Amino acid sequence: MMRARYVCAAASAVLIAGAPATAAAVSADGVRADAARTVSAAPVLRVDTTAQGAAAAALKHYPGVVESVDKDGSVWHVDVVAKDGKGHAELEVSAAGAVTERNRDTGGNAAENKALVDGKVTAEQAMKAALAAHAGQVTTVEWDDDDNAASWHVEIQGEDGKTWDAQVDPATGKVTGSGSDSDSDSDSDSDSDGN
């Protein structure tokens, strides 16, 4: 009888402490009876943040206009320009969506960022337009204003594994240039080697 009390007291202590154990009751004759079954925890699933999710997480951390999103392994590098055009932040977004600020600058030239800040089409809209033209996952989106012709450069990894490039017009959102460069790169590499 005394033994049953000690076992019951020990089982109660385990349950009160919150340990993930099987509760058991033991009768006076030493026979164990399961009072509850052990519940196994569900496995933790890895969540991979998309380019769109990385942009949204970065903007939540540092409000402004996304200038670029680029994936490096499982980490997204996101550059955001402040709405006044003077501030700039370099952020990293993990696969789970956690944001780390790597650099912040508040002394930028607003005139240099005017076209980006005033643009009608955001990086997020450019990604959406490019994905409507070609299915896959965005791996890079970048504001490109070289040669006085601004556009969004969007790279998509297609379901076939090939990289597809698109230029998105920042005024209309129209995909103005596109094509897969995987085949052309491998062809030009073999041609330049003489093989």
- Where does the pLDDT of residue 149 fall: very low under 50, low under 70, confident under 90, or very high at 90 and above? confident
23, 35 in Cβ contact below 8 A? yes
Per-residue pLDDT tens over the stretch 8-38: 444 444 444 444 444 444 445 455 544 444 4
Domain span including residue 137: 51-185
What CATH number is given to the structural domain containing 103?
3.10.450.40
28 and 55 part of one domain:
no
30 and 87 part of one domain:
no
pLDDT at position 124 is 97
166 and 111 part of one domain:
yes
- Where does the pLDDT of residue 92 fall: very low under 50, low under 70, confident under 90, or very high at 90 and above? very high
Question: Does this model's pTM top 0.75?
Answer: no
Q: Residue range 90-114: average pLDDT?
A: 92
Given a cut of 80, whether residue 155 has pLDDT beyond it is: yes
23 and 115 part of one domain:
no
pLDDT at position 192 is 36
pLDDT at position 187 is 36
Given a cut of 90, whether residue 176 has pLDDT beyond it is: no
Overall number of domains in the chain: 2
CA dist 6 and 65 (Å) reads: 66
46, 95 in Cβ contact below 8 A? yes
Residue of 131, 130, 114 lying closest to 65 (CA atoms):
114
What percentage of residues in the chain have a pLDDT greater than 90?
Answer: 53
122 and 174 part of one domain:
yes
CA dist 108 and 79 (Å) reads: 13
pLDDT at position 13 is 45
pLDDT at position 80 is 97
Q: Residue range 104-110: average pLDDT?
A: 88
Given a cut of 60, whether residue 109 has pLDDT beyond it is: yes
- Where does the pLDDT of residue 177 fall: very low under 50, low under 70, confident under 90, or very high at 90 and above? low
Per-residue pLDDT tens over the stretch 63-87: 999 999 999 999 999 999 999 999 9
Residue 92 Cα distances to 27, 58, 124, 143, 172, angstroms:
58, 8, 17, 18, 29
Structure tokens at 50: 């998309």
164 and 70 part of one domain:
yes
79 and 106 part of one domain:
yes
137 and 58 part of one domain:
yes
